[in-house]
Amino acid sequence: MEDLTGKVNGYRCQRCDRSVYFRHVHHGTTPMFMGCKATEGCKGTMASMMYRVPPEAEYFVTYEWFKPESLAGYSAEMKDHIRRGGLDYRPIQVEQKDSDG
């Protein structure tokens, strides 16, 4: 499997037609489909763009794929996924800068 660390992938919702972008923080596998993360309340399914994203996607990354340090709190299915090399995702935390500079 190709190491995609640092790469950006997008997912487009088949219902609301909006997209979100994810960056790989760690090497591992990610899903082809997931529930919509682009529009609050949307029940659509997002499909992977298979890493064919526009160059400007780099500026719109809002989630990251990561390998958890601990399996505590995960369901049995997610634990199995992670043990087999799968990744979890989380929103990217943006650091706030002081207005003083």
Q: Could you tell me which residue, 30 or 101, shows the higher pLDDT?
A: 30
C-alpha to C-alpha distance for 76 and 71, rounded to whole angstroms: 9
Average pLDDT over residues 78-93: 94
Which pLDDT score is estimated for 99?
A: 52
Which pLDDT score is estimated for 96?
A: 46
pLDDT above 70 (res 97): no
pTM: 0.85
Q: What is the pLDDT of residues 18-59, one digit of tens each?
A: 999 999 999 999 999 999 999 999 999 999 999 999 999 999
Largest CA distance in the chain: 47
Give the rounded distance of the alpha carbon of 82 from its chain centre: 14
Give me the residue spans of the domains in the chain. Answer: 8-91
What burial letters (b/e) apply to 32-56, b meaning 16+ CB within 10 Å?
Answer: eebebbbeeebebebebbeeebeee
